[in-house]
């Protein structure tokens, strides 16, 4: 299987599919969410986005599907191009797919030997190796401290800078071995995951893309349309939570003259929805997932 969708039924139910509606699957991947939406449509349509060319091989032969080979940060541009504005619902399942992790040559895995690549869109040029070999010490510390939430980032970076002087980073095993030596005993796997995740997010500008995407969703949706986002990183979840709560990316609550909050969203998930124990047992990659949803007022 290319990718096992997390919180699949819960997220599709949250979209409240209208049989003639137009829906966006912002992260097509293995096509799991798109297929579930199509099952519930009659004359409707799905516009799906994915920047990874490998995902295009999962395209289903269905005239109701338009598959866009690009980043979801260009949401409005492509919806305008295909004359699909406004839409009835938008779903995004963030992070990396199982297929990407399980392909050693992509460089996403902490376990499988491969080049330090980590590009989701291989039309881009910046790789994880470039970051490790070229970023300044200060840039690397900020990256691992902020995106990786790594408390001993300076220690990690000192070792990276020392190692790259002797031999440039090329393979995942070089980074994994070095990071392993910096981890707290018993928490090596978690530490490696944080290090690799921080690099992946930098290579693919994931936080910047998410900001661009979110900022377009309210305008792209019809009144009553729904936004559903599944995230796997605390920074992403916090951004989504604050955006839904406030209607803006900095999370600042604005009120009108009468004290009413000015926000285009009605929150549908007061607390994030997470996978149950059975789903986590079946798919360990689901354990950090958090789903939030809102309806456009």
Sequence-distant (6+) residues with CB within 8 A of 204 are: 118, 119, 120, 121, 124
- Scanning the chain, the segments in alpha helix (DSSP H) are 8-15, 32-40, 75-81, 98-102, 128-134, 137-146, 153-166, 172-182, 188-203, 206-220, 234-246, 277-282
**What pLDDT score was predicted for residue 2?**
55
Would you state the pLDDT for residue 118? Answer: 98
Residue 53's SS3 state is helix
Domain-wise residue ranges, the chain: 8-98+206-296, 125-203
| 32: Cβ contacts below 8 Å, ≥ 6 apart | 3, 4, 5, 8
- SS3 state at 146: helix
Phi, psi for residue 64 in degrees, rounded to 5: -85, -5
Q: Are 247 and 218 in contact (CB under 8 A)?
A: yes
CB–CB of 256/250 below 8 Å? no
**C-alpha span between 242 and 9 (Å, rounded):** 25
Domain range 8-98+206-296, its CATH number among 3.40.1190.20, 3.20.20.70, 3.50.50.60, 3.40.50.150 = 3.40.50.150
Q: Output the pLDDT for position 111.
A: 92
| DSSP symbol at 115 | B
CA-CA distance, 115 to 118, in Å (whole number)? 8
Query: Residues of the chain whose pLDDT is less than 50?
Result: 1
93 - beta bridge partners? 230
DSSP label at residue 184: P
Here the tokens at position 212 are 């661009």
For residue 107, the 8-state DSSP code is: -
Q: How far apart are CA 140 and CA 199, in angstroms?
A: 9
Place of tokens 């604005």: 254
Indicate the DSSP class of residue 56.
G
CATH 1.10.150.170 is the classification of domain 125-203: yes
Residue 113 has a pLDDT of 96
Q: What is the pLDDT of residues 186-235, one digit of tens each?
A: 999 999 999 999 999 999 999 999 999 999 999 999 999 999 999 999 99
């Amino acid at each position: 299987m290319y990718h096992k969708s997390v919180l699949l039924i819960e997220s599709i139910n949250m979209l409240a599919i209208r049989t003639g509606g137009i829906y966006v699957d912002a992260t097509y991947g293995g096509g799991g969410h798109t297929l579930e939406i199509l099952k519930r449509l009659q004359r409707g349509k799905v516009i799906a986005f994915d920047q990874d060319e490998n995902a295009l091989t999962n395209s289903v032969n269905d005239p109701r599907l338009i598959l866009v080979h690009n980043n979801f940060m260009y949401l409005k541009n492509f919806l305008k191009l295909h004359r699909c504005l406004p839409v009835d619902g938008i779903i995004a399942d963030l992070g990396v797919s199982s297929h990407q992790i399980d392909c050693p040559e992509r460089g996403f895995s902490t376990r499988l030997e491969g080049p330090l690549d980590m590009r989701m869109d291989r039309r881009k040029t910046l790789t994880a190796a470039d970051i490790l070999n070229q970023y300044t010490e200060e840039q690397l510390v900020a990256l691992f401290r902020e995106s990786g939430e790594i408390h001993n980032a300076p220690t990690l970076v000192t070792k990276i800078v020392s190692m790259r002087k002797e031999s440039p980073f090329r393979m995942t095993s070089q980074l994994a071995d070095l990071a392993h030596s910096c981890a707290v005993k018993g928490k090596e796997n978690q530490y490696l995951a944080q290090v690799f995740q921080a690099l992946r997010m930098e290579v693919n500008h994931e936080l910047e893309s998410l900001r661009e995407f979110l900022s377009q969703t309210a305008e792209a949706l019809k009144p009553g349309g729904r936004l559903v986002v599944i995230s796997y990183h605390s920074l992403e979840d916090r951004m989504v939570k604050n955006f839904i709560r406030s209607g803006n990316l900095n999370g600042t609550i604005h009120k009108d003259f009468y004290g009413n909050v000015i926000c285009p969203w009605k929150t549908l998930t007061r607390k994030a929805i997470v996978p149950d124990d059975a789903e986590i047992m079946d798919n360990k990659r689901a354990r950090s997932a958090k789903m939030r949803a809102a309806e456009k007022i």
